[in-house]
Structure 1
Amino acid sequence: MASLNVGNVGEYLREQRRNAQLSLRQLADAAGVSNPYLSQIERGLRKPSAEILQQLAKALRISAETLYVQAGMLEERDRDELEVHAAILADPTINERQKQVLIQIYESFRKENAVVEEPVPADPMPAGSLPADLSPADPVQPKTA
């Protein structure tokens, strides 16, 4: 059977499963999918639905959005943000409430530090020109302290 072009979702799933130290069978059971089906997804032979990806993400404790991007279902928003979310959600040393709080804090910092790029206004006075109320004959007095 030829490999489908489903992005790197299969390879990514395999990597996440190994990082979580789960066997193929353990992940399949946790996600509620069959062992052969999960194997085919990992090998790139099957394209999983959004629902299956969500089940796999939940079982792996990673962001479903990350899997959607890997599968080409979503445009990549901000890779750094997705990776931070995935790392937080995958950490087995903190509980679910702590994970959600960390993500909320992270999001609030990103919003607070967001740089709004404003267009640079055109120079209202081209170089070499003077304002109408100042002619070249007007003396400019230096400031004294």
Structure 2
Amino acid sequence: MGSLNVGSLGEYIREQRRNMQYSLRQLADAAGVSNPYLSQIERGLRKPSAEILQQIAKALRVSAETLYVQAGILDERTEETAKSSLELRASILADPLINERQKEVLLAVYDSFLKENGVGAEGGAEGKNRHDPSQQGEEPHGHHR
């Protein structure tokens, strides 16, 4: 499971957008991303974060897991492990009772707990974009708090 499959991800997003009869601008507005950024994602030029994929999934009315699989973030082995984490993220992002800054802070705290517990930031999906090279090769020497 190497690099993200951004080409087919972009094609999939474009196909879903067209099925919903959304213009690029309509989907960008609904997902809370810029028009040029969404265009670059659709053309396979940009690799969106898990959070951006969740926003796009919500706007397209598809599950975030569907886009994660398309992007190569999840495969059959990690899909079940990450599902509860992804559902939690989707719930936080969809919550109308907190603002966008609060959602970002809440997700950042959650990610820090996952990292502390040795889990990838995407809930078992290897945390590709948040890899910390300082953690490589370290041996546990007791508790560091």
TM-score normalised by the chain length of structure 2: 0.49
